[in-house]
Amino acid sequence: MKSLRSVGIIGTGSYVPERKVTNFDMEKIVDTSDEWIRTRTGIGARHFAADDETTSDMAAKAALKAMEAANVTADEIDLIIVGTLTPDMLLPSTACLVQDKIGANGSAAFDLETACSGFIYAMEVGRNFVATGMYNKVLVIGAEKLSSFLDFEDRATCVLFGDGAGAAVLGPVEDGKGILSSELGADGSKGMVLKIDAGGCKMPASEQTLKDRLHYITMDGSEVFKFAVRIMGSASLNVVEKAGLTLDDINFLVPHQANMRIISAAAKKLNLPLEKVQINLTEYGNMSAASVPVALDQAIREGKIKEGDKTVLVGFGGGLTWGACVIQW
């Protein structure tokens, strides 16, 4: 779609819970090793939220930081979109809980579930509201408390994920800046490779579902891996082309943080050395929808993304889904 107004990120914020759990800590929980986790994934640690800390708590903290960076008050927020696969509750939405926590009482609010692609999807939805002039300031958030949905008896999944939240405020920007191009995609035929079986209407919570451990994330790791390597590369190249740019124009990459080997493959497709890629899975693991916005906020605060830069954001996730965009700062 040709934007009526140019839309960009005018402030970012993130929050990661205090409790750090290293691979050595995981060795005490499941039959794994720091060496296995590091060499297969690149992950060295993850942070888990406190027992009484929820996805909306973390989302609200990240949101307030983003609003401060954007110099925007709660009254100015027109819409809140939360990308999450780990909502506080099935009803009400996490976005409504966040709205109440940050005092953005005049805003619309809803959740969007595209797993790890959640933030990039939320950005694109928010962008369209601002582009058409319907809204001026949209708060987009990726937030997850995955630790509540991990099976700590399944070493193939529980070592991969962490908790956290990242946020961005979208608003109109001067022409030629902001989000230059984007791509969203989904392949529902592969939905069952990454799933939580029970808790929905197909299999409501029961004594049996609890006994069968069906409320946790399960994954066909190698299928997800193959999909991720393919899609991260092709989606990145597509958005560069759609923006009318060449690879030489791209200064920096902010990828979803699932696996170092997947990130390296995407960087290679874009001809970028790893110094030009934000990597935080070493410390935080895969925070699903929170991975991209936390990495983006870190890159901005660390001064790695500067005025005039062109950055690719790219992610993939359950659904299966994917999303990418090019941002001109």
Instruction: Cite the active site residues.
Output: 116, 256, 286
Give the binding-site size for ligand ACO (rule: CB under 6 A): 23
For ligand ACO, the closer of residues 241 and 283 by Cβ is: 283
**CB of 30: closest distance to ligand ACO in angstroms?**
7
Give the residue from 258, 320, 295, 312 showing the smallest Cα distance to 42.
Answer: 258
Gyration radius of the chain's alpha carbons: 19
259 binds ligand ACO (CB under 6 A): yes
- Torsions phi, psi of 106, nearest 5? -90, 5
The distance from CA 196 to its chain's CA centroid, rounded to whole angstroms, is 18
| Amino acid in position 126 | G
314 binds ligand ACO (CB under 6 A): no
**CB of 273: closest distance to ligand ACO in angstroms?**
22
288 binds ligand ACO (CB under 6 A): yes
291 binds ligand ACO (CB under 6 A): no
40 binds ligand ACO (CB under 6 A): yes
Detail the DSSP E strand segments found in 49-177.
Answer: 79-83, 108-112, 138-144, 164-172
Site for ligand ACO (CB under 6 A): which residue of 6, 41, 84, 181? 41
Tokens at residue 28, please?
């005490």
Site for ligand ACO (CB under 6 A): which residue of 224, 243, 277, 290? 224
* Residue 180: its H or E element: strand 178-186
Q: If you search the block for the tokens 């005039």, which residue do you land on?
A: 308
Which residue stretch of 57-65, 66-74, 155-163, 173-181 sits at the interface with ligand ACO (rule: CB under 6 A)? 155-163
21 binds ligand ACO (CB under 6 A): no
Q: Is 133 left (phi over 0), alpha (psi -120 to 50) or beta?
A: left
Q: What angle do CA 60, 62, 239 make, to 5 degrees?
A: 120
Given the rule CB under 6 A, which residues bind ligand ACO? 32, 36-37, 40-41, 115-116, 155-156, 159, 194, 219, 221-222, 224-225, 228, 258-259, 286, 288, 317-318
